[in-house]
Structure 1
């Protein structure tokens, strides 16, 4: 099993901030919020009436077939994956390579049910297991990828789990390259009601762009978002042989489980700490080598406090020197696609040598004392970045990235 470096050589994205890496970088570093009042369905009976909704669904150049007939999550996944493969320079040669696919999406059968039955009684009921294709099967068939494939479903940490799977396949020599990522378009009446009834969502409906407040004393919950992100990963030797330009190296992914509660984060973050420590150990890095932490930072009272406590323990006396921010303050929480998008935010810090801010962080919660980057971006050297993602049900993850 090879242990050579795994490079990220391509990225594709479709989020409310933009449909290219450059657009997203500009938006995040400008501190621009993508959160607005929901207007595509009636929210008058919902406690949370705001979100970061995706409204642009571009068709990749050269895509064959009826793109307009695809459901939105298929359109987003296709755009992200094709863009990533083109960005990596592998689109034209994909049929001649063993390219794997590790991709996550959220509750796809539930969304089919909501769209076709519950919310639209004029459409006849269907047998979902037989009448609806899994997203992963659709993608493999239509993209012509012949390597192994898997759907990763670990809630908010799914994107990091997909990266971990991709790295392992490459180390085992099963693939020449792997596409890894996630897409989530669940800003729907049913899902909004579910999270609203859990009291997990912000109720600051009169201030949509100021509602997502990670680590702020006045935070009251997260704001849902939509979008997708995909990456191409390959062994450094293969990338060098074709003169590919790396966006960064995926050094490691640390994983753990709380086994504490279906939705509430463990107040004692021992397993979240373990995920970060495992990632740093595999990367052979001391915590002091980290230049930036993209925090899970959802803006829930319990979750942010627990994460801050964990980071202070991990970094020890040095915790005041390692910048931390939550891009969810701008993007909202992309749920299944969150950690994939936040991995891109880490790669952007390498390219721009600047750290995106936590906007709306005007009064830091004393229990969330960290080296925050509030309100505006901060320029500075970033060679190593980590991205925390702690999914519902205690699926903890930490990915470590290095500038190449």
Structure 2
């Protein structure tokens, strides 16, 4: 089994009932920070080991080192700064060594933060280093420019490890590692998606599966914008695809509750590290992975892996797939040189429009069983 990033799988979860009860009582005396839903996901991802080797929010040294060089102070590759911002009024009350109660919108105690550092950061400098731009039209930059300048770093102790979304499909790294071992998989390829499946993605998944023991389909479930597929649509459509067109014994489907930052190549590195922590030995990075608009070169997310130290997970770099009417099969430009007029390329907009109007989509683009499931659902899109 491939070792976790940094060598050890982080587990910052309080499992002992008495200890949880202690912190529940103790938290009433502590300063409270109410987190948004996306922040709650991040806390749980840290505590469950998805972000190994991070034990919590970054201290100043790590934050600045990551922004500058994509490495923690100890030299371990990590591409995106992770810290908690707090307002000026709260920053005056928070001191190193104090505990802070992190709660959700219902005021349920989610975690305890042990404050080990408090510092300020420069928004524009950080945006330029991480996103390559200070343009606020970039969604990641826009969000960064709105957060507080005060940051805190320190270890997290997770109190509430409940899974409110698709419990059976929300596996933690410690669970996937056990599952892959039980299945006898020595090599596993991770595949990230945010959409219902079309045949181009199916083709890439099967190409990858040909060279490994198992396929880990890991859809990102996070903050939605209008027109995005609902979580239910993604899960139901993938279950249908796997049931009808895959060897079910070779595939695991599990969601990834994660905030997308659209940091292009840096985010591709983070996604690879997360899959490594899940136990994947390979990870598919396609064209314009984690990109947005035209901020990044289409192949920047693939090329960055040639510029950083070996992560220990093999990156499979694929081009966009299409259906060729001459080949009578799915292909990429590596295997097909026919004229573009013979190529049927998946269009997200076209697929969405036909789902809404309940029109037929060519079987060369979407499997009919998948199309049927999507068109029969009441809520396919946000």
Shorter-chain TM band? 0.3 to 0.5
Please say which structure displays the higher CA radius of gyration.
2
Q: Which structure is richer in relative contact order (CA contacts within 8 A, separation 6 or more)?
A: 1
